[in-house]
Structure 1
Amino acid sequence: MPLPTPTLSFTIPSIHDDIVLQCRVYHPTCLAPTSILQITTWNKKAAIVAHPYAVLGGCYDDPVVDLVSSTILEQGFLVGTFNFRGAGASKGRTSYQSKPEQSDYLSFVGFMIYYMHLLSPPPVPTDLLKFTRFDSELHDLTPVPSQALPPPRLSDPRYVTAAVPNPHPAVPAPAIAVRGNTVEVPNTGPCLLLAGYSYGALITTYLPPIISSIIAQFQSPAEGSAHSEIRLRAECLAAQQNEVMQTQITSLLNAHSHKRGRSLHADDLLHSPKLRKSSGGVRMGGEENLRRASHDSYRSRSSFTIETPEMVRRSVDRVRSIGKTKRFLPKRQNSASSPKANGSQSSFEHVSPEDGSSKMDTVVCKEVPGIGSGLQTAYLLISPLQGLVSHLLTLWSSRSWKDQIPDHEMKLTVDPSLVVFGDDDLFVGAKRLRSWVGKLSAASKGSGRFRHAEVSGAGHFWQDFEAVKLLQEEVQAFVKTL
């Protein structure tokens, strides 16, 4: 199924040089339910999918990016896509060393980490959880049979996959549902899946291996910096969406309470007049902090869709006031520092001049305690570039000619990772890819953290119908274990 209309369309500055990047965020059905049966717990799982080389037409509208993103979204993940510099409506030009693009990716990683941390949908009532869990008619919320995919044909010579050994023999390994009739035991903790296709996979491979080092750059950013702007954008949009979810889910629960006493079937949708005012996503970016040196470059890109509800406008305007430079009235100042509806505190505060002068207040980012705690990082690489192509696109940077695996690749053997490629790749020979994944498999020492799948007959652009189905099935099976 193709991706739906994005929940949010916005811009952020790159931490490399303030270049404006175009971004999208898609909410799973549990965060944007239209039926009482879709109200389930979200375990703070999110994914980012990076696109192919912009010079060759790559952008976040790429068909493979669409396929992978929609597959992950259907598993209940929050999904984000973005355009590297020089792609789509993002500013700047594509570099030839990949380092600016790595910073572009890290900019969006910072946004997603804070956004998913601050996003707080209303808790699901216990009785509703029992109702959806034990009612056999309502338990399965997968697509109708005509839309569902058949399980992988493991005997098919077109499909080759790596074994998944048990890293802890004393503890049963989580089973993959599509591999058999076993019951799957997914991870219930927060997870951030970093994914990329083609050039996007190359950039994903070069990302720093420790997620805490990325978070540290955003915890105490300088006023007016790109890091601060990204933090403010994440908090603003999370607060807005918290209010939208509160209204939407409360409306469905109220409608459900009036229907108690009669059976509820899977096709019994409970619509609210407010929910029918769905918009194409909120478009915004650039007004939160007027003291940014590059603010003028953002203003022309800031807009709301005409259909955006007035309630969303008020919510965003209220949170935007956190970053404005004028001195606040006492009532406004107390409002900015008071707990939000979801019980969280604003991570920004205003510091007035010590001399009591009329100078403008300073907006200071406070550290967010506990952010990133227990966050599992995973990686998904589709048709990664290796060999001469990767050397040319990175100008031989950070490469080792020895047999040892570079540090940025070792993370694939430590965190859950999946590499999927075809044996008919136009840019990278299958022999080289087999050698590369073989080294990573050996380095993982049977932990089962690293997996790979080779699809016979699949090219770099995944145009074969059967190959596309196998790609989707492998991604789905991997995501189910996260």
Structure 2
Amino acid sequence: MSSPKPSYTFTIPCLHDDKPLDCRIYHPTALLADEKPRRWQKKAAVVAHPYAPMGGCYDDPVVLAVATELLNMDYVVGTFNFRGASNGKGRTSWTGRGEQEDFMSFVGLLVYYLDRLHTPTTELMSTLHSQGEVKSNFTLETALAMIPSNQAIATRLQETQSDPSVIVLAGYSYGSLILSQLPPMGVVLQRFSNAPPGSAASEILLRSHSLSSQTNQSLQGAVKLRGRQLKPSDALGQGHSRSHSIVYGGEETDPSLRRRSQESRRSGEIIRRSAELPLRLKAHMRRHSSNYSSSRRVIPQVDGSHNAEHMGIPLVQTCYILISPLLPPLANILVLPNRNPFSPSTPMTRPDTLLQNPTLVIWGSSDTFTSSRKLRAWADKMEERSISTFTTHEIEGAGHFWREKEMERELLTSIRTWLEQHVSRPSDARPR
């Protein structure tokens, strides 16, 4: 199986400490509707990689295989490197806090990127085809001009724009451990809804604006009717079947306006002060809280300007996929027990996001890092507490790395089957 080519390769700063994260976005064929005019549901997936000190990165074979399968299912797919992976900045933490923020940073970018994609041209052409309105030499401009006089077209376009986006959060091995620590999607997106100018969150939003603007411009320039078929442009760098890739470097924010995170340095300073001057620590926290809440928090725009209006959080239907999850004792070595949601000594509060949304947990019976017996016992407890669709699948004979004959294909087939059964279509999707 050949690896897909990314449409975009770029970096974003981490919300935690501004460490630059290497990121990729892949586009499915359906986004360009190059086969026939049809409606493309806004849906995207993130696939997180295994443990970086053991060679894990976004080039991991399992990560790429899952990404390719999701592309074949018409998902926009995003991958990123955790800190320290593949010669990236920083290093793997012992608490998982930095990696959790790495994950949240990329999720925020992908959600807002997907939310800003404008694909009504495909829906418009599809509607016109169904009504027999398409003639020879019929252009997109002609079609757009028909919207005011055609209520059916206007209604279909409005329905398309109001559909919740589908976001699949997937993690393999260590990636699933960090995924399980993420707060609910609403909490993640709240970090971006009122981003202070010059902050890491603001820079991430600006980068998502730039990328979605590039895609929208390419789509607008590419979608032309030739007979009864839409043809894509080579300019977009479609990741699934083309080799072209657009690389974004640097940052969107003017360096003079950039506000670097001082969280790491400040945390160490507060710890030292707390041992000597607890009263000064309390005063510092009160001042910090007051200053933060009173500062004017605004939303960055594509051109770098700012809008004081509150930005609504995108409607999102979220589901989770955990591949070869890690349980104690190994999980406690990679992430401290007090930060590890799977640790028996830790109240299982973080996994509530897995219980409240459609979740698939899949592993091999011959996994050498976590025994299938432990995984079955853990999965049974999770299923008992679940208020949504919590599905587990144990694949007989598969190991942790999915290298056994036909095991990778069975993994991908299981993921595809589950998504087709449990992820809502545009007509029945509801945000959670």
* TM interval, short-chain normalised: 0.7 to 0.9
Match of 1:286 in 2: 250
| Distance in 2 separating the partners of 1:132 and 1:29 | 22
The 5 A counterparts of 1:186-205 are 189-205=164-180
Q: Structure 1 residues 458 and 441 mapped into 2: Cα distance closer, same or farther (>3 Å)?
A: same
Tell me, yes or no, if the aligned pair for 1:25 and 1:78 is still in contact at 8 Å. Answer: yes
SS in 1 for 2:59: coil
Contact 1:383 1:460 in 2 (8 A): yes
Matched residues in 2 for 1:273 and 1:56: separation? Answer: 37
Q: Does 1:470 align with 2:396?
A: no
Equivalent-residue separation in structure 2 for 1:432 and 1:442 (angstroms): 16
Q: How many equivalent residue pairs?
A: 349
CA deviation map 1:108-132 (0-9, x unaligned):
0110111111111242255635869
Within 2, Cα distance between the matches of 1:198 and 1:4? 21
Q: Which amino acid aligns with 2:376?
A: R
AA at the equivalent of 1:395: L
RMSD over aligned Cα atoms: 2.9
Amino acid aligned to 1:76: D
Please name the residue that 2:374 is paired with. 432
Equivalent residue, structure 1, for 2:77: 79
Distance 2:70 2:127 in 1: 23
Amino-acid identity (%)? 39
Q: Normalized per residue, which structure has more helix?
A: 2
Match of 2:57 in 1: 59
**1:24–1:388 Cα change, 3 Å:** same
Q: Shift of residue 236 of structure 1?
A: 1.0
Which SS does the other structure have where 1:408 is aligned? coil
> 2:196 aligned with 1:222, yes or no?
yes
Aligned equivalent of 1:113: 111
Measured in 2, the distance between the counterparts of 1:417 and 1:17 equals 30
Other structure's SS at 2:351 match:
helix
Q: TM-score, normalised by structure 2?
A: 0.74
1:412 corresponds in structure 2 to: 354
Structure 1 residues 247 and 207 mapped into 2: Cα distance closer, same or farther (>3 Å)?
same
Deviations 1:411-464 (A, max 9, x none): 21210000000111111111110111111111126x5x1001001110000001
- Answering whether residue 413 of structure 2 is matched by residue 460 of structure 1, we say no
Partner of 1:88: 86
Q: Which runs of 5+ in 2 are unaligned?
A: 132-162, 262-298, 424-432
After TM superposition, give the deviation of residue 396 of structure 1 in Å. 1.1
1:168 corresponding residue in structure 2: none
Candidates 212, 223, 229, aligned match of 1:238: 212
2:280 matched residue in structure 1: none
> Stretches of 4+ moved more than 4 A in 1?
129-133, 269-279, 365-368, 399-405
Q: 1:348 to 1:477 in 2, by over 3 A?
A: same
Q: Distance in 2 between matches of 1:207 and 1:58?
A: 20
Structure 1 residues 325-384: Cα deviation after superposition (integer angstroms, max 9, x where no partner): xxxxxxxxxxxxxxxxxxxxx95299xxxxxxxxxxx953555644322x1110000001
Deviation at 1:477, TM superposition (A): 0.9
2:301 aligned residue (348, 360, 366): 348
Shift of the 116–271 alpha-carbon distance from structure 1 to 2, 3 Å rule, reads: closer
Look up the match of 1:378.
319
Uncovered stretches (5+) of structure 1, i.e. residues with no partner: 134-187, 296-345, 351-361
Kindly tell me: are residues 387 and 238 of structure 1, through their superposed partners in 2, closer, same or farther at Cα, counting changes over 3 Å?
same
Counterpart of 1:477, as a letter, is T
Matches within 5 A, 1:166-315: 189-208=164-183, 210-249=184-223, 251=224, 253=225, 256=226, 259=227, 280-290=244-254, 291=256, 292=258
Give, as a single letter, the amino acid of the residue that structure 2 aligns with 1:226.
Answer: A
